[in-house]
Amino acid sequence: MDRMIGQYCKIVTKEPGEQKAHVMTGVVTEIDNEAGFIIIETPQRTACLSIQAVIAIKPKQRQL
């Protein structure tokens, strides 16, 4: 998972108790395995996601 740092990725997450999954695309800036969080820079904001909520993560080409 650490090799995703600095790459543009598509990340699918689903929080416990929710029915729908959420998709985010952005640059993975930091992964904290001890605390269980991933920091993502998107064009709109900076997001902090729980590693437990991540269903899939896939490197993606940035589209202009």
Could you tell me the sign of the dihedral formed by the alpha carbons of 11, 25, 63, 2, in that order?
negative
Domains of the chain in sequence order: 2-59 (2.30.30.520)
Written as tens digits, the pLDDT of the chain (64 aa) is 778 899 999 999 998 898 999 999 999 999 999 999 999 999 899 999 999 999 999 998 876 6
Nearest to 53 by CA among 7, 18, 4, 8: 18
